[in-house]
Amino acid sequence: MPVWCCRCSLAGHFRNYSDTETEGEIFNSLVQYFGDNLGRKVKAMPLVEETSLLEDSSVTLPMVVIGNGPSGICLSYMLSGYRPYLSSEAIHPNTILHSKLEEARHLSIVDQDLEYLSEGLEGRSSNPVAVLFDTLLHPDADFGYDYPSVLHWKLEQHHYIPHLVLGRGPPGGAWHNMEGSMLTISFGNWMELPGLKFKDWVSSKRRNLKGDRVMPEEIARYYKHYVKVMGLQKNFRENTYITSVSRLYRDQVDNDGEDRDMSTQHLQIEKSKFIKRNWEIRGYQRVADGSHAPFCLFAENVALATGTLDSPGRLEIEGEDFPFVFHSMPEFGAAISKGKLRGKVDPVLIVGSGLTAADAVLCAYNNNVPVIHVFRRRVTDPSLIFKQLPKKLYPEYHKVYHMMCTQSYSLDSNLLSDYTSFPEHHVLSFKSDMKCILQNISGLKKIFKLSAAVVLIGSHPNLSFLKEQGCYLGHNSSQPITCKGNPVEIDAYTYECVKEANLFALGPLVGDNFVRFLKGGALGVTRCLATRQKKKQHLFVERGGGDGIA
């Protein structure tokens, strides 16, 4: 089946441009083209065969965003020209930060020195721009205050940077697949995106607000609605699956017009003969009849906003693939809701010490399903997530932590009727007769009969479309990318990958799991692109507007 392709659909619009036309003229026309055409529905876009794609490679998108969760949505919002300014009546409780903001009140935050503004700020993210943006949107939130944002937003359409956001499902990403029975870890207003208060939106959808924490399905609907109400639909494409993202180079002396992948050694030998052609993004789009329509896009920049929920972590032990072993909360929640574990005498084994494992404990406990809870850490380990959550705000998680501490297994007692914890234990294997073998740090083994098992030990992003599965982008290039242990290594203020120019990463890929903090990535990326665009325009003016491509 034919497929939309950005470069092909633009080729007709740009086919009369010569190589000597300036980048400024091409860019302005590109902005005009996207303003006129990207607002149409996907089905209205020109449908072309992929083979025609290689006929013209002169036009690229300034940005392609891979992932349409809150990170990708917020980045699209800012790339669309929305700019944050200090509100006229706002007074930030941090007096030093407020005085800095006052120095350039007439400028949007995007046009200010983010390193200067971030200096001295502390927060629950290791990324300084994330902490800065969070304290501007939610001043002193970690101290329990609900101060209003000190920012107001303006739509400045001349700042629009053409881009596409590609996602497998509807805008909102993984939030559409989360188990609906659990409350979110964050308050509703911490989950909101700029320009649309979550409380205002949710109050129009339901009458009774029983507290500040909300269900994941409400968050998913909010994100989907946000894209629509902010006029961002023209930038989003659903049902897209990325198969490769690679660098292309063009031979300057070759007149056949073909792009070629070149070996690193060859490039270094004949570096002067080649121009970096930035990124080629290939994949397919699932269409209504279930078929796959291939596509190919070209971009100056790519932003990775995939999140890290693609591949659940595995124990890599014997018997882990038996059907009674689950690896996600939705799988386990579905088994509970369908009554498959109701009335079972044998316990459910839950492996993990994070919040998702705690959710599973609560889900089983509230449905009268007995639990064996296994985790490797000591209950006094200061790095346990429960140590970072205020008791008053998260009573259910502290209930789980209290049980972890007080209802642990001992040799002189049997399993408790509702819940038994096994600190400093790990699972050795699962057996076909639904038994598991546990081992403690002393090497002592125990065997238990189960009704089911749930392994919830984190997850990994699927970056199979990148070379080396994206491992080379991490702090430790020999290990897979993970949110906590090995995030993508980025410039602290631009979110550009340290090991790959013009490739950006944000959200969980760089360690920001909370929506509160991933919005900082959108600010950093937008400022970086806007700054580079200004430099190009300045260089273009200096050259007199007709001296070739800047």
Residue range 129-149: mean pLDDT, rounded: 88
Q: What is the pLDDT of residue 5?
A: 42
pLDDT for res 154: 96
CA angle (384 as vertex; 382, 386 as ends), nearest 5: 110
Taking the C-alpha atoms of residue 5 and residue 8, their distance in angstroms, rounded to an integer, is: 5
Does residue 255 or residue 72 have the better pLDDT? 72
* pLDDT greater at residue 521 or residue 201: 521
Among 381, 384, 373, residue whose Cα is nearest residue 407 = 373
CA dihedral 257, 259, 262, 268 (to 10 degrees): 60
Q: Provide the token pair at 219.
A: 């968050």
Residue 494 has pLDDT above 90, yes or no: yes
pLDDT bucket at 176, cuts 50 / 70 / 90: low
Residue 485 has pLDDT above 80, yes or no: yes
> Quick one: pLDDT band at residue 169, thresholds 50, 70, 90?
confident
Strands 435-440 and 311-312: unpaired
**Res 57: pLDDT:** 39
Specify the pLDDT at position 510.
95
d(CA 109, CA 102): 11
Residue 293 contacts residue 2 (beta carbons within 8 Å): yes
pLDDT exceeds 90 at position 506: yes
Mean pLDDT of 296-300: 93
Where on the phi/psi map is residue 548: left (φ > 0), alpha (ψ -120 to 50), or beta? left
Q: Confidence band (pLDDT; 50, 70, 90) for 501?
A: very high
What pLDDT does 4 receive?
41
pLDDT band at 391 (very low <50, low <70, confident <90, very high): confident
User: Which of the pair, 240 or 483, is modelled with greater confidence?
Assistant: 240
Answer whether residue 491 shows pLDDT above 60: yes
Residue 285 neighbours by CB distance under 10 Å? 19
Cα–Cα dist 161/300, whole Å: 12
Residue 342 vs residue 373, higher pLDDT: 373
Has residue 29 got a pLDDT over 70? no
Q: Which of 400-404, 483-487, 539-543 has the highest mean pLDDT?
A: 400-404
Give the 3-state secondary structure of residue 188.
Answer: helix
259 or 150: which carries more pLDDT confidence? Answer: 150
DSSP character string of 76-105: HHHHTTEEEEE-TT---SSHHHHHHHHHTT
pLDDT band for 1, please (50, 70, 90 cuts): very low
Q: Are 416 and 347 in contact (CB under 8 A)?
A: no
- Answer whether residue 21 shows pLDDT above 50: no
Q: Among the listed ranges 157-166, 289-298, 523-532, which one has the minimum average pLDDT value? A: 289-298
Residue range 42-96, pLDDT digits in tens: 333 333 333 322 223 346 899 999 999 899 999 999 999 999 999 998 999 999 9
**Closest to 509 (Cα-Cα) out of 472, 485, 481:** 481
Pairing of strands 311-312, 459-460: antiparallel
Q: Which tokens go with 518?
A: 């991933």
pLDDT tens readout for residues 183-207 = 555 555 667 788 887 777 777 666 4
Q: Which two tokens stand for residue 7?
A: 């470069």
Return the percentage of the chain with pLDDT > 70, whole number. 76
CA pair distance 401, 530, nearest whole angstrom: 46
Looking at residues 134-140, what average pLDDT do you find? 92
What pLDDT is recorded for position 187? 54
Q: How many Å from the N-terminal Cα to the C-terminal Cα in the chain?
A: 39
Q: What is the pLDDT of residue 210?
A: 53
216-222 mean pLDDT: 82
The string of pLDDT tens digits covering residues 418-465 is 999 999 999 999 999 999 999 999 999 999 999 999 999 988 898 999
Closest-CA residue to 237 (of 462, 507, 4): 4
- Output the average pLDDT for the chain: 81
Distance CA 47, CA 11 (A): 13
User: Residue 543 is inside which H or E element, if any?
Assistant: none
Q: What DSSP designation does 503 have?
A: E
Q: What is the mean pLDDT of residues 319-345?
A: 88
| The pLDDT of residue 212 | 59
Bigger pLDDT: 2 vs 376:
376
pLDDT at 215 (0 to 100): 73
- Kindly tell me if the per-residue pLDDT of 245 is higher than 60: yes
Query: How sure is the predictor about 339, in pLDDT bands with cuts at 50, 70 and 90?
Result: confident
pLDDT of residue 303: 98
Lowest-confidence segment of 184-188, 307-311, 321-325, 531-535 by average pLDDT: 184-188
pLDDT of 38 higher than 90: no
pLDDT of 414 > 90? The answer is no
Reported in sequence order, the residue ranges of 262-344 that DSSP labels E, i.e. its strands, are 274-286, 292-304, 311-312, 325-326
